[in-house]
Structure 1
Amino acid sequence: MKEVFYECIAFERTGKILTVTLNRPDVLNAVNKRLHAELASLFTDLADDEAEVIVLTGAGKAFCAGGDIDWMQEGIDDPASFERTATEAKQIVFGLLDLEKPIICRMNGDAVGLGATIALFCDVIIAHDDARIGDPHVSVGLVAGDGGAIIWPQLIGYARAKEYLMTGKLMTARDAVAMGLINHAYEGAALDSETRKFAERLANGAGKAIRWTKVSVNIGLKQLAHAIMDASISYELMSNLSDDHQEAVNAFREKRRPSFTGR
């Protein structure tokens, strides 16, 4: 694996388990241009790694706070650069779905926007019970096009998915467990012990059977992703050009509520 390529992601091996850490803790692991490009390559590179099980987590207090606000402004100022972002978004989702090795999300803190998408496309999601999860693309005037429109309805049904995607509301990890959005939520140090226990169970299991079971389950998700992703990403590209998106970015920087006009 080309670990030298990665500046915003850290790696730690323990036997057959590779812990992959989003490593921008000073900004809650918000995704900027560099991290997004690294995520687009990450899961393809992990296929060539000797690890049997991947644990994906975040450094510091959050799993991933979503898109970096300065990077959003770059996408507004240079729409052509946002087209590259759209291509990478597909690589991230299909990379997660194509990787045969099981991926456990250790959701150590909030998973927001793209962070939520990445967490939910993992195979098992184990969260700290103080963590929250949500996809507030609409809160910044963007379409939830980078995978949220695919995965949320499959996990919690269309009515609930539309409620959360159209409002951008966050939910607690415990509510997410009760709703079937994620698998488990644990207090304090139990997050580490339970994640490790589950990772070791998979690492010591029948590897081919586990991997190919994942492949089989993901067939339907991959079909949905192929059917939906191009359209949802195109709508997100269009919303990147909207007045409402610029207003949301301005409001975030000015620490005020956005005043949306629907344009």
Structure 2
Amino acid sequence: MSDLYADYQRLKLDWPKERILRITMDSPRRLNAADAVMHHELAKIWRDVDSDAGVSAVIITGAGKAFSGGGDLDLVKEMSENFEVLTRVWKEARDLVYTIINCSKPIVSAMQGPAVGAGLVAGLLADISIAAKTARIIDGHTRLGVAAGDHAAIVWPLLCGLAKSKYHLLLCEALSGEEAERIGLVSLCVEEDQLQDKALEVATRLANGSPTAIRWTKYALNNWLRMAGPTFDTSLALEFMGFNGADVREGLASLHEKRAPNFKKDCPL
């Protein structure tokens, strides 16, 4: 393994085939939830991948039965109480989206089980997204009491249209891998026991293709995402502004207590 990746703790890296780097999110938190270390590493890894001449294609997946369990609730609490933590995580969230978009190497995601939060950013912004039929994809922001920032506004409407995006993002309605494929949110859907093999097959085809043709095609297509940059920046700013409000405190308490949230209805907006 290159010294470039020596310091990563929550991202486990291996080479299933020559020139194919597999990144596995592996957190001690439940379902690979993104704690502060993983969140920082997810924002950093794509610059290292882009600069690594030995990488032709990348696979991003999760350890065990989960892809990504969302944001670690301890980190969410810190963000709601500490402005320095809030602004650091905001920058990481911004960098995560833009470094994936600008990474020249083709990225394949292999999503199984729960796919939520920072991991889902990489899962859906990947160039080829593959979900197990049993995957459970959900954007949980409004359930927590903050705007759907992260990646949602930049890519969901482009993938599955505005009507479906509003339905799933406003209501936090979960999708199976099959439903995600049906509405165009992911590229492919396969049986769970075929997921890793299919991801490796696709990554191998990408790695064996013309590097310039594939990377330049990706660059051109991602201009659709770059044009949505102001929409993304607004959504992310509104999300993080929400971490200073009462709704996120109620959302966080309801998750800890395993009950429905009771948000105040008298909103001046």
TM, length-normalised to structure 1: 0.95
| Structure 2 residue 38 is matched with structure 1 residue 27 | no
**Which of 227, 230, 234 is the aligned partner of 2:233?**
230
Deviations 1:109-147 (A, max 9, x none): 221133322211110111111101121100000111112
Helix, strand or coil: the match of 2:192? coil
Q: C-alpha separation between the residues in 2 aligned to 1:42 and 1:89?
A: 13
Q: Contact 1:138/1:144 (CA < 8 Å) preserved in 2?
A: yes
| Structure 2 residue 110 is matched with structure 1 residue 106 | yes
**Which of 233, 256, 260 is the aligned partner of 1:257?**
260
Gaps of 5+ in 1: none
Helix, strand or coil: the match of 2:69? coil
Q: Contact 1:142/1:236 (CA < 8 Å) preserved in 2?
A: yes
Deviations 1:209-252 (A, max 9, x none): 11111011011211212x12322122112211111110111111
Residue pairs, 1:83-162, within 5 angstroms: 83-162=87-166
Q: Contact 1:25/1:60 (CA < 8 Å) preserved in 2?
A: no
Q: Contact 1:177/1:184 (CA < 8 Å) preserved in 2?
A: yes
**Which of 189, 199, 202 is the aligned partner of 2:203?**
199
User: 1:73 aligns to what?
Assistant: 77
Deviations 1:139-159 (A, max 9, x none): 000111112111111101111
Q: C-alpha separation between the residues in 1 aligned to 2:24 and 2:38?
A: 11
Distance 1:25 1:198, change over 3 A: farther
Q: Contact 2:12/2:24 (CA < 8 Å) preserved in 1?
A: yes
Helix, strand or coil: the match of 1:28? helix
Amino acid at match of 1:73: K
Q: C-alpha separation between the residues in 2 aligned to 1:132 and 1:260?
A: 25
**Which of 228, 231, 242 is the aligned partner of 2:245?**
242
Helix, strand or coil: the match of 2:71? coil
Counting aligned pairs with the same residue, the percent is 35
Count of aligned residue pairs for this structure pair: 262
User: 1:8 aligns to what?
Assistant: 10
Q: Contact 1:25/1:59 (CA < 8 Å) preserved in 2?
A: no
| Superposition CA RMSD, Å | 1.4
Q: C-alpha separation between the residues in 2 aligned to 1:249 and 1:157?
A: 30
Q: C-alpha separation between the residues in 2 aligned to 1:94 and 1:26?
A: 26
Helix, strand or coil: the match of 1:47? helix
Distance 1:83 1:185, change over 3 A: same
Q: Contact 2:39/2:118 (CA < 8 Å) preserved in 1?
A: no
Amino acid at match of 1:4: A
Q: C-alpha separation between the residues in 2 aligned to 1:194 and 1:39?
A: 23
Q: Contact 1:25/1:62 (CA < 8 Å) preserved in 2?
A: no
Amino acid at match of 1:9: L
User: 1:164 aligns to what?
Assistant: 168
Q: C-alpha separation between the residues in 1 aligned to 2:201 and 2:237?
A: 41
User: 2:60 aligns to what?
Assistant: 56
